[in-house]
Chains A and B, each alone.
Chain A
Amino acid sequence: MSSAAAAAALLLILAAAPARAWRLWGEPSDKKIRPMQELSDTGKPAEVIAALTPQFVQTLRGTDLRQSYILLGDSLDSLGRPDEALAYYQLGVSLFPKNVDLLTRLGSILHRSGLDERAKIAFKEALRYEPRHWGAHLGLAEIDATLGFPDRAAEHYEIALETIDTRADVWRDYAGVLMAQGETKTAELALGRALALEPDNTDSTILLSFVLRARGDHAGAILRLDEALARGADAGARRAKALWLLESGRDAEAAAEAALVLSAIPDDAAALWVRARARLAAGETVNAYDDLSRAAGEPANTRFSARAARALRARIKDIQDQRLTQPRRR
């Protein structure tokens, strides 16, 4: 047999029976790693780390070796040791630079560490080998959303959701970037998908209320907040309700909601602001001033709500001082 014929025969074997052909190079085998994988699947990361000693890892080849880096990284990460996990993922990627599972894990941990530029490189590398890999697209979506590119983030979410369309949290994040672009109708539809998957999720309900408010539907937005409150949402939802009632000109209801917040959090600056505004509109300037003084707190308080309260309080004082110094009209 000529060498050309031999090569052709080998190609035929490879094409016809790829699994068998791989064995020519000793790939793949996950026999050795299987017990550690089972430990990982049953939620025993410490045992996985203990079992995957450096000496044992040295005996591994191919799939076993690749999986060992994934298991070590995942286990260390789940035990709150991301720096060590990062080292294993990096080592894994250096040995298996085309493995998308390792690349996406590396990208994810870099992203969580705030190293977004490096994370992007890892995710984009994963997409070179698997252009529609949902994990890489999800990672890039989160990075683009964080950096201020909601349009790009939306595209990545859309591709990721082709595969993981049962993830309510991803539909919610997708809705968030749509809202940031002003695409409130599509955001509402995306939240509809999230709520269909998790009907009682208060985060989705509250985000939907923000979307409705952005579209000018204050009544609908407040109804959604009420739904979230009925499902146990915390004081934040009531705080939002008080402010949005104020925006709707429903001052008395706003003050009543603010009072409920203040009964739980007596110095809540937003609730004090709402009550001060309602009192100011009703001509109760002294009471409004007192609420703002409470919201302002100490002069050293640099929180935005405290500074806003100080600014309004100072303006009220100016107006009152002007009234006192102006000659009375006859």
Chain B
Amino acid sequence: MTRSLLTLLLALAVPSAAAPDLSADALLRDHLWREVRQAAPARRPKIGLVLSAGSLRGVAHVGVIKVLVDAGFPIDVVAGTSMGAVIGSLYAGGLPLQRLWHIASTVTVGTGSDLSARRLISLLLYDQLLSSENTSKLISKELGGVRFDQTKKPFACVAMDAYTGEAVIFRDGELAPAVRASMNLPGIFRPLEYRHRYLVDGGVVDYIPVDAARLLGADWILASVTETDFTTARPKNVLESLNQVIDIRGAYLSREQRRQADFLIEPPVGDIGMFDAERAPEAIEKGVIAASSRILAAEENLILASIPLLAADWMGAEARK
């Protein structure tokens, strides 16, 4: 027994994970990160979290949010499109992370809609688009009938007006219908008539809504992007084909938006289809893993952006004159 234990101990001997990194880079980062976290909002950039579209893949945003929260990232504003709007609204609305994780891990596209077989047949045979009403029901159930100005953090989401082709950025009024409009997949759900517009999913025109976060005043933006890997996806039916076309268009549109964000986290969820509900927990975990592997780089990026503002506090009175 003792001999076996000893040999197993040797076999399992790996360097201790908890030995603190005392290099100049690690210690200085840790020190400055503390300063950024503790800085008054005026002494650091206003930080925006942007959550991309991506249908069911978008639940990976929850994993990203968890890592950011655990790292103490001071998120000031949130913007999202489509599934990013659903997750973002719940987070900005103050839903506890544990609850958000539970909702995301049990989500199906049918949670926000009705994609039962009977309704799908109705869609395909009788040309009757489905209702996305359950999305607004979900938001109302979890947050109550909140308005944009009542969320814990300022929030914006994007839909598209199907008559004009314009991106519509919602940041006031009732939260639930705006989120519903943002997650209103065209070709599957009936366009939503709201505020004199005919609204469909914002992913068609604003896949990574960096502009919405800027409108909320964000100076520094971290974007969580859950694009599809359309080079490997093989749609199996009409709905998946349609969704793939939207995703491809979104990917092309997002090229510029990627450049506009200050930092990107991209969970590798490209192979998860919009109806792979059983893979939702896997998507969230991939969000955690992707964000964990990038969190130190994100901290460094934000620290460097904050130093010009923090410097004023560091200078002596004489130098500040």
Contact surface of A with B, Cβ cutoff 8 Å = 37, 40-41, 70, 73-74, 77-78, 101, 104-105, 108-109, 111-112, 135, 138-139, 142, 145-150, 164, 169, 172-177, 179-182, 203, 206-207, 210, 234, 236-237, 239-240, 243-244, 246-247, 268-271, 273, 277, 280-283, 285, 303-305, 307-308, 311-312, 314-316, 318-319, 323
Contact = CB atoms under 8 A, between A and B. Distances in A.
B300 A315 contact: no
B311 interface: yes
B47 to A, nearest CB: 17
Nearest to B16: A169
13 contacts: A70-B7, A104-B8, A105-B8, A172-B19, A173-B18, A175-B18, A203-B19, A207-B18, A243-B31, A280-B315, A308-B32, A315-B307, A316-B311
Contacts of A181: 70
A246 B32 CA distance: 11
B24 interface: yes
B117 interface: no
Contact of A312 (B12, B25, B70, B311): B311
A262 to B, nearest CB: 11
A77 B9 CA distance: 13
B96 interface: no
B24 A312 contact: no
B292 A147 contact: yes
A105 B10 CA distance: 10
Given A305-B24, A307-B304, 13 more contacts: A74-B10, A77-B11, A147-B292, A173-B16, A239-B27, A269-B24, A270-B25, A285-B319, A305-B25, A308-B303, A308-B304, A311-B307, A316-B315
Contacts of A40: 7
A281 B11 contact: no
Contacts of A149: 285, 288
Contacts of B17: 142, 145-146, 173, 176
A281 B27 contact: no
Contacts of B31: 243-244, 246-247, 270
Contact of B319 (A37, A111, A280): A280
A282 B318 CA distance: 9
Contact of B70 (A180, A207, A239, A277): A180
Contact of B20 (A101, A145, A206): A206
Interface residues of B, number: 49
Given A105-B8, A139-B12, A236-B27, A315 B18 contact: no
A5 B29 CA distance: 75
A9 to B, nearest CB: 33
B76 to A, nearest CB: 21
Nearest to B291: A148
A268 B320 CA distance: 27
Given A283-B316, A304-B25, A147 B288 contact: yes
A314 B308 CA distance: 8
A70 B7 CA distance: 9
Which of B8, B35, B67 gathers the greatest number of chain A CB atoms within 10 Å? B8
A139 B14 CA distance: 10
Interface string B243-285: 0000000000000000000000000000000000000000001
A237 B311 contact: no
Contact of A277 (B10, B288, B300, B314): B314
B22 A239 contact: yes
Contacts of B34: 247
Which of B24, B29, B320 gathers the greatest number of chain A CB atoms within 10 Å? B24
Contact of A281 (B7, B35, B314): B314
A179 B70 CA distance: 11
A283 B303 CA distance: 23
Contacts of A172: 16, 18-19
Nearest to B299: A304
Nearest to A146: B17
B14 A304 contact: no
B109 interface: no
Contacts of B3: 37, 41
Contact of B11 (A105, A169, A173, A175): A105
Contacts of A101: 4, 8
B41 to A, nearest CB: 19
